[in-house]
Each structure stands twice: as structure tokens, then as C-alpha cells.
Structure 1
């Protein structure tokens, strides 16, 4: 029998503001949103939200789920993602990627970790490829990876304008984007190319050149890390005005900020004030990735690990400190990334969609409960999930 949960008296942001409603969940799906709903005492579970905010589960479009790093040598390889860290941070959907190291970090390993996280209740998709070109694949081609492997939805993160990139040509970018686009169309997936953008002088020009030299829509490319500095942000805003989606990275350090990076929350505010379309702006954590700080000659100065918790933190900071409209900020971590990635059952609260949601205390702006696919994984500020080897 399916689990039935009724959440009463919640101020629902779907992410559109629906006011105070009741939300009925049956199994893994949202069944109904209305007022005055009730359940017989012997059926299901009723939770009174008492006016707290009910928001969609956060969609994190860039997570190194199997670990990353290594730019400081083998001892600097970062650990894999613990699903408990995602659940207690309100993140219910993640996209797994490889980064700089596609030699000791493999797609096989990434695929296994993605399947494990999904079995543990965290919806997990992945991209084929890594920083490098030619693109590493599971099946021998980008097209068959996306079409035949159910949880592969695109390619990434392919690096440009970075000294760690393979420096792909315009023709190479067009070819891989074309393959991903056709595969996405045929399989009903997003088929986008997640683009790691470094801080070299080319910025987003390789993507503008690829679009100008082909029939590809600019939305086929999904560039991230665009809050590295003011100049890159300005180029990103131009990209968004041209019809593309742009992403800001929430994980950072004081040293990286001191070198010129903007917090993702600040970049979101600047982009909105510059007139960038609110539905084309996203934030992601880059969790478990290495946060590297290189000096001008390319020498590594320090390295730390990205955190999935930073996504909710920057959403909150955008609203509280940067005075970004609550609904616009919420879109950037829910509906917008779900849209660009083609995840039609994620990022919103509506009948028929996956029951991924969080209940947030409106006074403290802290997470109270988190539900993923109809199950409470974090409740009363306590993690409920326990892995196979938990004591």
C-alpha cells in the first residue's frame, strides 16, 4: 500500500506563491493541493505545518558525487557525497559530474555512485564526459549514452577558458552539442552541455562562436561558475539576454572571494538588476569538487572542498542579505535548473510531480523537514536516512 501523507496549513511556494494550503502526498507523488483536506485517522500521516513555508526540494545541477579534486596531488582528492548532507540541506535532486580528473575518477564509478544515491532516496542523474575533449563515454558515443542509459541526461562539465581545459575548437563544441541535442530530442531528455568556465580571457566567447557558426540554440550550452569575477558575470548576463541559461556557484572560500569572486547570491542580485531574465538564472553547489585558488602564474595556492549545504545557504542569503525577491530566488534553485535540465517532475510543487519538498521555519529561515520522493529524510531537524552500513 502506498504511503499517504497530508501536510496541513502550509504556506506553499510552488515556487509561485499559492498561499496557505494543504498538500496530499500518495506514494512518491503529490496527489492534491487544496484547502480543507483531511485524512481518516487510520489512514496515513498528518503533519501540521502551522503556517511554515513549503517549498520544492532544491535541484543541484552540479555535484561531484563520486569525489573530485586532485589538483594538489593525490592527497587532495575530495570525498564522495554523503546523501545525509544533501537531505539536511534541502537538496533532493542532484546531477553527478566528473571534473578535472577523468583518469582515476571514471564514468563507471560515477554511474555506480549515481545508482547508489538514487536507491538511497536522493534523485540522482549524471552527465557523460568531463573537462576533457574528446568526451569520455560509457557506451562509446555521447548519443548512445544519453539515449540508452536512463540516468544520463547530458554532457559535462566540459571546460573552456581554463588552463585545465583541453581547449576544444569551435567545431568540436558544435559537434558534441549537436550529438547531445539530437539524443535529447530522441529520448525526451534535456541533452544540454554543462560548461565549466574558467577565469581565462576567453570567458564565454567559445560558446558565442559555436552558436554563431551553427544552427544550435544558445540554450544548448549551460555555463557555470559565472560569478568568478565581474567581467565574467557581465559576459554571462549578455549570454542570458541572448537566450541562454547561466549558473552561479555557491561553494566558495574567503580566499577565493578576496581574489575577486562574487558570492552567488550577490551575482544573482546583480544579474536581476541588470535585466537578465529571472527564469534563466540558476545556482548550484559544485559540492565535493575542489575549490582551487591559483595565482597568476597558474600555481595552486590553496584548495578546499565544495559543500552541498551552500546551495540553501546562498538561497537564504539572496533573500535576507541581497533583498532578492523570495520567489525569484527560489526559482534559481528549483524550477529553473529543472527546466534547463529537462527534469519535468522536479523543481515545483504540483499534482503529479515528485513529492520532493521542504518545510522551512519562516522566522529563523531554517529547514524543519525535508521529504524526497514521498519519504521524510529529515524531520524535526534530525536526519532520518540511514545507509546500509549505519550503526
Structure 2
């Protein structure tokens, strides 16, 4: 058996533990402490000097388009699929994959196959069944059955509301989707989350509020993303966060979208904390490899760029350095909160018995130096040591 001993890193688990030794073996964190002595016949020990680094949980990205996204500018603007290093070099060790606007040329079987491939290469990848549209596209013919019978599926999404590209579901339809996801999750030990794409339309969260008010579906069954489209939208979600709903903000953005009033993920976290929201109620997602379209007031496409998984780390650094958000609080946003809300109990925290997903960050720049995912070292000295099969 091979043991990895990371010595003397300043650990944020995400709470501060100070200089701590971490022992990794068999894909898990085997031990943590200040005075650990390792010795034994036939045991191979790899010693890592962590004294110049922060040791933090691997980032958990609750929204990534691992097979690429449908380009709103035509077939030639379909975005490419992710590679392993798109995530690993950014410190992301766990992702939840989904389809978006295009569920015709981007399919759930392809999504599932890509999730298996990235998991084989070293990451942990879960999936949402469905896409923007309602009725929901599934593999088995049922949201409930997909969640119950397909291990990778932990919920449904990203179902689009308040968006001209969505199917404009009724409250009854959205409530039924939530009920199916909830029961499928209950019966299979999963969260059965309904991941909601919130668009730019003026109705914003009105449909979500109607469902919560009219039907016996708890607010915590929903996980709304793109909540940083505007200050108004973000602030309209605060009362839902007080009901236990985690609000997700998108780290990938463009100068054009920011100029139109979109907030950066870091600024969104800063504003939410200043308004009295708990640091446990905001998460960051990358929207990696999605198309990021820019529409004018009449709905015409005027520009399009691609989301990047790297945006998660960029937003984390911005939150700590520009907005002076405590490192522990920022780590909740990029790791712990999504893991908890999605029911990924072995992720988002450095603790004995948890998955050995950890990142060493340079103390001065917070840049990614080393990454382990399920105990497998993917990045060393800022360079990928494991790459995608055809990279």
C-alpha cells in the first residue's frame, strides 16, 4: 500500500486548522494531525512538503457542459467538449454535467458517456437528466426512473424558466418535475435536486415562487443558477436563501455582459454577505464549455463566447484578494456549499474518511500548485501530470 503524506500545509477544511499533516491512502483521507508518525514494513510513503501552501478541498462545480453547448449562432458555434485538464488545472475535482439549450445534437447518452470518461481519467462527475426544455428529455422515459436507476444522475436540469430559449412551463408542470425528482431521490438516496436556469425575462423568480407557494414542494428542492444576471435578481433571491435554498452564481462571464449589469461571482458573494446572508447559502459554478450568448433587446444574437471551468478559480481569487472575503467563506462558495446542497457527503471538506480531493494553493497568489482527486495526483507544480486520453 502506498501512502501520501502532505506535511505542514496550512489547512482550510474549509475552516482554518492551521499547519496540519494529511495522510492520503486508498482514495481517502486516512489521517490528519500535527504529530503524525508513519512507519511500517513494506509501506511506501510519498512525502510532500506542504509548508509553503494552503491545503483546501477540491472545488465542486455544480454546472458544467462537459459535452459542449449548442451555439445560438448556428451549427458552427457549437462549443467543444471539456478535457480533464480544463478542470484539474483549475482545482476542480468534482463536476455536475448537464445539457442546455441544445438537447437535439447534444444527448443524454453522450453526456453520460463523457461523464464516465472523465471519471475514469480522474475526476468525479455526476449528471442532471433533462435540459432546458419541458417536457423533460430523459433516458428511461421518466425523471424519477433516470434518477433512481442511473447512478450518475443526481437530479434534473438545467430546466429553463424566465428565458426566451426555454419551454415556458406552467407551475403545475414544474411542480410535477420537482415531485418526480424528489421521490426519485428519496428512493435512491440522492438529493433529486431541480437545477433551474434563470433567464433574463422580467418574471425572474415568479414561477419558482408560485410553485413553492401553491404546492407542497419545499424550497430546498430547487437550486437556481445565473442569479448574478443583475443586482435585482440576486436581491430577489435573498428571502429564498433564508428558507434554505442555496443560490448559485455563474463565474463565467464576459465584459459585454458585465457592462449590461451582470455581476461577477465574487461581487455577488460580497453583496450577499454585506446584506446579511450566510456564507453557506451562495455557490459558484463555472458553466464551463457552455455558450455565453449576448442578445440585444429584441432577442437578436450580437455576440457569443464560451464558459470556462477556470472561471471558478478566478472568481475565488477575486473574492479573496479584491473583496477581502475570508478564505474559508470563499471556499464554501467554490466547494463546500455545492457539495452539501447536492448531497455529495464525501466532497467539499478535508476530514478523515472523506474523499481525498484536495488542492495545494500558493500562499501569495492563490494559484493552483497541486491537485489530488480521489487520492490520484492530477497536477504537480502547476502542471498536469495526468491528461485526457487523446490530449
TM bucket (normalised to shorter chain) is: over 0.9
Q: Does the CA contact (< 8 Å) of 1:245 and 1:280 recur in 2?
A: yes
Counterpart in 1 of 2:218?
A: 217
Q: Give me the whole-angstrom Cα distance separating, in 1, the residues matched to 2:184 and 2:30.
A: 32
Task: Give the 3-state SS of the residue equivalent to 1:371 in structure 2.
Answer: strand
1:382: how far off? 1.1
Task: Give the 3-state SS of the residue equivalent to 2:175 in structure 1.
Answer: helix
Counterpart in 1 of 2:280?
A: 279
Task: Give the 3-state SS of the residue equivalent to 2:339 in structure 1.
Answer: helix
Task: Give the 3-state SS of the residue equivalent to 1:92 in structure 2.
Answer: strand
Counterpart in 1 of 2:348?
A: 347
Counterpart in 1 of 2:300?
A: 299
Alignment of 1:384 onto 2:385: yes
Structure 2: which 5+ residue stretches go unaligned?
none
Alignment of 1:264 onto 2:265: yes
1:78: how far off? 0.2
Q: Which moved more, 1:296-305 or 1:360-369?
A: 360-369
Q: Give me the whole-angstrom Cα distance separating, in 2, the residues matched to 1:256 and 1:387.
A: 32
Alignment of 1:33 onto 2:32: yes
Q: Does the CA contact (< 8 Å) of 1:291 and 1:305 recur in 2?
A: yes
1:35: how far off? 1.1
Deviation sequence 1:159-218 (CA, Å, 0-9, x none):
000000100000011001011111111111111000000011111111111010111110
Deviation sequence 1:20-62 (CA, Å, 0-9, x none):
1100011100011111213349622010101410000000000
Please show how residues 86-97 of structure 1 align to structure 2 within 5 Å: 86-97=87-98
Q: Does the CA contact (< 8 Å) of 1:20 and 1:51 recur in 2?
A: no
Deviation sequence 1:216-245 (CA, Å, 0-9, x none):
110111000010111111112232123211
User: What is the root-mean-square deviation of aligned Cα atoms in Å?
Assistant: 1.1
Q: Give me the whole-angstrom Cα distance separating, in 2, the residues matched to 1:382 and 1:388.
A: 16
Q: Does the CA contact (< 8 Å) of 2:197 and 2:226 recur in 1?
A: yes
1:85: how far off? 1.4
Q: Give me the whole-angstrom Cα distance separating, in 2, the residues matched to 1:365 and 1:278.
A: 20
Task: Give the 3-state SS of the residue equivalent to 1:46 in structure 2.
Answer: strand
Counterpart in 2 of 1:98?
A: 99
Counterpart in 2 of 1:81?
A: 82
Alignment of 1:242 onto 2:224: no
1:386: how far off? 2.6
Q: Give me the whole-angstrom Cα distance separating, in 2, the residues matched to 1:12 and 1:127.
A: 32
Q: Does the CA contact (< 8 Å) of 1:62 and 1:96 recur in 2?
A: yes
1:324: how far off? 1.4
Please show how residues 1-391 of structure 1 align to structure 2 within 5 Å: 1=1, 3-40=2-39, 43-390=44-391
Work out the number of aligned pairs and report it.
Answer: 389
Q: Give me the whole-angstrom Cα distance separating, in 2, the residues matched to 1:91 and 1:107.
A: 22
Q: Give me the whole-angstrom Cα distance separating, in 2, the residues matched to 1:186 and 1:275.
A: 36
Q: Give me the whole-angstrom Cα distance separating, in 2, the residues matched to 1:153 and 1:387.
A: 25
Runs of 4+ in 1 over 3 A off after TM superposition: none
Deviation sequence 1:298-351 (CA, Å, 0-9, x none):
000100000000001101100110111221111011110001111011111011
Q: Give me the whole-angstrom Cα distance separating, in 2, the residues matched to 1:388 and 1:324.
A: 38
Q: Does the CA contact (< 8 Å) of 1:114 and 1:125 recur in 2?
A: yes
Q: Give me the whole-angstrom Cα distance separating, in 1, the residues matched to 2:100 and 2:339.
A: 21
Q: Give me the whole-angstrom Cα distance separating, in 1, the residues matched to 2:205 and 2:388.
A: 41
Q: Give me the whole-angstrom Cα distance separating, in 2, the residues matched to 1:108 and 1:300.
A: 29
Q: Does the CA contact (< 8 Å) of 1:86 and 1:309 recur in 2?
A: yes
1:69: how far off? 2.8
Q: Does the CA contact (< 8 Å) of 1:359 and 1:368 recur in 2?
A: yes
Q: Give me the whole-angstrom Cα distance separating, in 1, the residues matched to 2:287 and 2:199.
A: 14
Q: Give me the whole-angstrom Cα distance separating, in 1, the residues matched to 2:365 and 2:152.
A: 36
Q: Give me the whole-angstrom Cα distance separating, in 2, the residues matched to 1:202 and 1:71.
A: 22
Normalized against structure 2, the TM-score is what?
0.98
Q: Give me the whole-angstrom Cα distance separating, in 1, the residues matched to 2:298 and 2:289.
A: 25
Q: Give me the whole-angstrom Cα distance separating, in 2, the residues matched to 1:51 and 1:13.
A: 14
Q: Does the CA contact (< 8 Å) of 2:70 and 2:106 recur in 1?
A: no
Q: Does the CA contact (< 8 Å) of 2:155 and 2:194 recur in 1?
A: yes
Deviation sequence 1:115-154 (CA, Å, 0-9, x none):
1111111100000000000011111101111111011000
Q: Does the CA contact (< 8 Å) of 1:39 and 1:46 recur in 2?
A: no
